[in-house]
């Protein structure tokens, strides 16, 4: 079964382009234009990784991240945003984001980060 990616971003052209590109890479991609829709998708289950924008209408990305981590803490969330603010990056990572990518970034960076998120945090070497 193809890994399921949720792409939560209000930029329709970006989400459609990314959906098509990631689908060609073997991912099943569902999109959400805002945080409320993203939460509904996560609650349905089956999401392997969330790619989350910070600036969206309604429920903002940081608040969406907080809710995802409360409702489904096992789902890795990668913040993918065009708005680089060090304080927001630190808050996102503190709230449990797996990684923080700033647009524009390469497709290879996105795919590598998705795969790292799917495989989980690196395990500690034995003592």
33: domain range? Answer: 4-84+92-100
Predicted confidence (pLDDT) at residue 53 exceeds the cutoff of 50: yes
**pLDDT grade for 125, boundaries at 50, 70 and 90:** very low
Domain-embedded: residue 45: yes
Total number of domains in the chain: 1
**pLDDT grade for 127, boundaries at 50, 70 and 90:** very low
Q: Residue 101: helix, strand or coil by DSSP?
A: strand
Domain-embedded: residue 34: yes
What pTM did the predictor assign?
0.88
Domain-embedded: residue 22: yes
Predicted confidence (pLDDT) at residue 93 exceeds the cutoff of 70: yes
Assess contact for 35 and 6: CB atoms under 8 A: no
Domain-embedded: residue 23: yes
Task: Read off the CATH number of the domain in which 53 is found.
Answer: 3.40.50.2300
Query: Which of 23-27, 41-45, 55-59 bottoms out in mean pLDDT, i.e. has the lowest?
Result: 55-59
Domain-embedded: residue 48: yes
Q: What is the pLDDT at residue 121?
A: 60
Domain-embedded: residue 124: no
- Please report, for residues 2, 75, 124, the alpha-carbon distance to residue 53 in angstroms, rounded to integers and kept in the order given: 23, 16, 30
**pLDDT grade for 126, boundaries at 50, 70 and 90:** very low
Q: Please, which residues have CB within 8 angstroms of residue 55's CB and are 6 or more apart in sequence? A: 10, 61, 81, 82, 83
Q: What is the pLDDT at residue 56?
A: 86
Q: What is the pLDDT at residue 89?
A: 65
């Amino acid at each position: 079964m193809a890994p399921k990616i949720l792409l939560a971003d209000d930029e329709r052209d970006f989400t459609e382009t990314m959906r098509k590109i990631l689908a060609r890479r073997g991912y099943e991609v569902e999109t959400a234009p805002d945080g409320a829709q993203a939460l509904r998708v996560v609650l349905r289950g089956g999401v392997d990784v969330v790619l989350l924008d910070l600036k969206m209408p309604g429920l903002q990305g940081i608040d969406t991240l907080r809710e995802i981590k409360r409702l489904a803490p096992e789902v890795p969330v990668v913040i993918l945003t065009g708005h680089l603010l060090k304080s927001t990056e630190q808050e996102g990572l503190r709230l449990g984001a797996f990684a923080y990518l700033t647009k524009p970034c390469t497709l290879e960076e996105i795919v590598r980060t998705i795969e790292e998120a799917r495989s989980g945090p690196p395990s500690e070497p034995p003592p």
